[in-house]
Structure formats: C-alpha cells, structure tokens
Structure 1
Amino acid sequence: MLEQCLPDQLQHQNPAPCAEVKPRAGYVVFKDRHGPLQYLLMPTYRINGTESPLLLEPATPNFFWLAWQARGYMSKKYGHDIPDSAVSLAINSRLGRSQDHLHIHISCIRPDVREQLDNDLTRISTRWLPLPGGLMGHEYLARRITESELAQRSPFMMLAEEVPEARDHMGRYALAVVRQSDDSFVLLATER
C-alpha cells in the first residue's frame, strides 16, 4: 500500500489507493478490505507495532490522535454522519496482528461493547485500573482521559509511563480508544 500511495501523492498529488497521504506528518489513511467502513492509519516509515521503542519517543507523531482526526472517512463512505460515540480506534498486540507494520484500526464499536462502556462510565478512573468484569471475556485496564490529553500525549506513552512494567513489554499490549457519552475518552489495554 505504501509503495503505491506515497509515490502517487508525491508525483501526482493523488493519494490513491489511499484516502489520505501526509508525508510530512508521517502517515497514510486507507480503506481496509475488512468491513464496509473500516479504515487503517499507518506510518509512512517502518514501525513494527506496539513493541517499537519509536512509539515512546517524543518526536514520534501521536498516531492515535491522527487516527481520531481521520474518523470522518467513515462518515464519508457511509454517506451519513457516524456519531463519535460509535467510533473506536484499536491496535493489536504483536501476537494479535497479521501485519508487521503498525496500523491503527478506525472502525465502529460493537453495540454490546458500547453498552458495557456506557454502564461502566462512572467506574472508569483517570488512572489505569482493571475494567470491572473485563470485556468480551478478556481482562482490560481502563483509563479515562480528556480530548486535550489525547491530543497532547500518545496513549502508547501513557501506558508505558503509567502501568508498572508495561514499558518493557509493550508488544504484549493491544490498545483501544473510545469516545464516551460525556465527551471524555476511555483508553483500554489488554495483554494478549
């Protein structure tokens, strides 16, 4: 994908087959072949995945924030507005991914997951704590953040700096970001 999108953008100012190419910002957005509205955000340079030390460097773009900014492609494809509360951003752990290049899934949240997060809204703290009852049969850590926090600080850095021993085992973690009904966001992390 990158071999097509970057040259087309640089030579012809056409991002196809990607939806968006931002060489200076270091990312592309393209339509995932899985799911009618699912998109992927990927860096334009080599980052394997959550285990990459590059994700913990201050100069590395905040790929989750960039993915949040790209959520409008889903509405454009659908032909109607998709509410922010229906959008999820997620990255798989090293063992849970199919590609050896970092990619953040931009997609719709499952209704049952949305309902559970709504029910747990008041129990999700501003610190990483276990999500009561887990999620879809898995144990998760959850943390509430503001939109400003998401814009200013990468969830990768939050996890590495705030969860004991996470920095040394980042590749084990899958991460997700979901907008809550009170306009906060919930970060979800699980080891897989």
Structure 2
Amino acid sequence: MNAIDRTNDMPRRQFVALSGALGAGALLTGTGGSASAATGPDPVPGKPSCCPCPTDPNPPGGGQNPCPPTQMQSLCGLPSDTDPLWQDVQYCTRGIVPPSGQRPDCLKTTPNYVVLNGRPPSPHNYLLLPSCRITGIECPFLVSPNVANYWHEAWETGRSGGDVPVVFPNIGLGINSQSARYFHQLHIHMAGVRASTQRRLQALEAAGRVAPAPSQWRDTQYQAALTGADGTGDRTYRILRLDALTQNLFVLLNQNVVRPLGLDMAGQTLIVVPKMTAMGFDRSFYVLNSDSSLPSGTNTCDHLLVY
C-alpha cells in the first residue's frame, strides 16, 4: 500500500508520530497518494536508474505547458508552498534541495512532470507529478484548455517500453480525492492491478455495463462493484471505456459526472486501467470514478491498485 494518501486507514495520531520519527521526506513516496522517497533503500533490481536532476535556477522551459494563473493560486497552491511533494518536484526541476536535506530519486524529469518512487519502493509503484504547482484534483486549472495531459503522459511513461515501466502484468493509474491524501501536490499513481480486476472489467463490458461514451458515464446502469486488491471488500465505481487517453479526463469527469450530479471535484477518485488481452494491450482504457455519494463508494484509488 502507499503511505501518503492512506490517511483513512492510518489514525492521524499514528501518522503524525511516524512523520516525526522519520521526517517528511521518508514518507514522501506514500501509498495511496503520493510521493517519492527522498531517500530510500537501495535501488530495486530492474528499477530505472536515476538521471541527474537539472540545476538551472530557472523554471523548466522548452515546451512547458502554462501553469495555473495567479488568480487560481488560492485554490491550486502557491509556488512558495512547503508541501513535501512540491519540494521534491522543485528539487527535480530546479535543483532546490528540500529543507529536510533529503533528495528524492528523480526517475524522470520533463518540462511538464517528474516521476518519483512510491512507497513501498518497488518496480510497480511510481508517481507522476506536475512540474506546475497544482495541489490536487480540486484545482480548477485541471479543467482548463491548456493543462498538460498528465494521464496520457503517465500511461506512456509507465507502459511496457516506457521510460519508467510498471513491471506488473496489468497496470493501473490512479489519483485520490482531496480528503484521501496527506500531501498536497497532484500525483498520479502508476502501479499494478490484479488480474481479477482486469477480468471483472472485461466481463462488465461484455454484459453492457461499461459506458461507451462520456455522456453516459453517470448513468446508474454503468455503476458496478469491484473487489479491492487490499482485502477491504467491494466498492462501487462508475465505469467508462475510452479508445485513447487523448482527452482531458478531468474535463470529462467534471462535465459528465460531477456537474450534472451536483458533486464536488474535490471528493472524486479517478482510476485508469488499460484493457489487456492474451494478445497484449487492446488499445482501449477503462476509466473508473467513485466518491462517497455512491452506495459503497470510495474516494481513494488505493482499493484497486497494487503497490
């Protein structure tokens, strides 16, 4: 499991005590929600080696997408914020050492995002974080036209043959709601999913229980229970199939589920499971959403992902 966003499963007092004992950097690559380990155990065999982080004091350039404008910073975070994950991003993109002195393992650094280890470190537990200051799914900049397509980048990076491949038979990508995370820099988990989850999604599709278009995503006939990989039982998800990740998933969720149902983006979890067959990747994706408004709903991606 990932330690960062699993605050629902760890009493806050215990988490704070653990934070004090280990320091924020030691918890950065948490399960369920975020982060890269500022320092960690010896590299896992087969894990991509870390490339040097840039030391240019200027923000990354060369094709970088716009970041949230000043008027959104009260909702999306200030560049001067001290969130530990944001400090990790600044180390990877600008060479600024976090106050803790612990340097994260920058597995990949681009103008738009960085990839870090998750916790526990493994060849199937990574995090993709924007190089922009974006607190999380509630940031309204994520539904603007100019935001980078972080989901597509996570898939291209974590797929077999990607720069930081998730070494697992089935891959899952996920983001937690505002209440289900601890650190507040947007991060997409790049992890595994169980074979039973993949089979269940394909069976639901064959039974006509997967929405074929975003406009139908919120319909009750496309809500179904999936058994968690963490032994916590079934949770209910809204399930959509897409042929590509070229569209902004945050926009699709906001326009087709959140706003029509009168929900709040801050309370949503979002999970992507590439469809796999005996022949390999089927060039389509299952996109799952849930929140506490659903019967047996959840606001964390941790129940389905294998860290």
TM range, normalised to the smaller chain? 0.7 to 0.9
1:125 aligns to what?
Answer: 211
Does the C-alpha gap of structure 1 residues 121 and 17 become closer, same or farther in structure 2, counting only changes over 3 Å? same
Whole-Å Cα distance in 2 between the matches of residues 54 and 140 of structure 1? Answer: 25
Match for residue 253 of structure 2 among 147, 159, 167: 159
Whole-Å Cα distance in 2 between the matches of residues 94 and 164 of structure 1? Answer: 15
Does the C-alpha gap of structure 1 residues 115 and 35 become closer, same or farther in structure 2, counting only changes over 3 Å? farther
Q: Which amino acid aligns with 1:187?
A: V
State how many pairs are aligned: 174
1:177 correspondence with 2:177: no
Query: Where has structure 1 moved over 6 Å in runs of 4 or more?
Result: none
Deviating more after overlay: 51-60 vs 31-40: 31-40
Q: CA deviation at 1:17?
A: 2.1
2:142 aligns to what?
Answer: 55
Following superposition of structure 1 onto structure 2, how do residues 29-40 of structure 1 map, counting pairs within 5 Å?
29-36=115-122, 37-40=124-127
Whole-Å Cα distance in 1 between the matches of residues 254 and 203 of structure 2? Answer: 27
Whole-Å Cα distance in 2 between the matches of residues 67 and 167 of structure 1? Answer: 29
Following superposition of structure 1 onto structure 2, how do residues 47-126 of structure 1 map, counting pairs within 5 Å?
47-71=134-158, 72=162, 73-75=164-166, 78=167, 82=168, 86-122=170-206, 123=208, 124-126=210-212
* Contact 1:6 1:21 (8 Å CA) reproduced: yes
Whole-Å Cα distance in 2 between the matches of residues 101 and 164 of structure 1? Answer: 22
Whole-Å Cα distance in 1 between the matches of residues 205 and 176 of structure 2? Answer: 24
Q: CA deviation at 1:51?
A: 0.6
Match for residue 109 of structure 2 among 9, 17, 21: 21
* Contact 1:38 1:74 (8 Å CA) reproduced: no
Alpha-carbon RMSD across the aligned residues, in angstroms, is: 2.2
* Contact 1:161 1:167 (8 Å CA) reproduced: no
* Contact 2:274 2:284 (8 Å CA) reproduced: yes
Percent identical pairs in the alignment equals 29
Higher normalized helix content (fraction of residues): 1
Secondary structure in 2 matching 1:70: helix
Does the C-alpha gap of structure 1 residues 5 and 29 become closer, same or farther in structure 2, counting only changes over 3 Å? same
Whole-Å Cα distance in 1 between the matches of residues 262 and 93 of structure 2? Answer: 32
**TM-score where L is the length of structure 1:** 0.81
Q: CA deviation at 1:19?
A: 1.0
Q: Which amino acid aligns with 1:189?
A: N
1:134 aligns to what?
Answer: 225
Whole-Å Cα distance in 2 between the matches of residues 175 and 66 of structure 1? Answer: 15
Does the C-alpha gap of structure 1 residues 106 and 167 become closer, same or farther in structure 2, counting only changes over 3 Å? farther
**TM-score where L is the length of structure 2:** 0.52
Whole-Å Cα distance in 1 between the matches of residues 157 and 238 of structure 2? Answer: 25
Does the C-alpha gap of structure 1 residues 109 and 121 become closer, same or farther in structure 2, counting only changes over 3 Å? same
Task: Return the index of the structure with the highest Cα Rg.
Answer: 2
Which runs of 5 or more structure 1 residues have no equivalent in the other structure? 10-15
Secondary structure in 2 matching 1:4: helix
* Contact 2:90 2:131 (8 Å CA) reproduced: no
* Contact 1:178 1:185 (8 Å CA) reproduced: yes
Q: CA deviation at 1:184?
A: 1.5
Does the C-alpha gap of structure 1 residues 167 and 52 become closer, same or farther in structure 2, counting only changes over 3 Å? farther
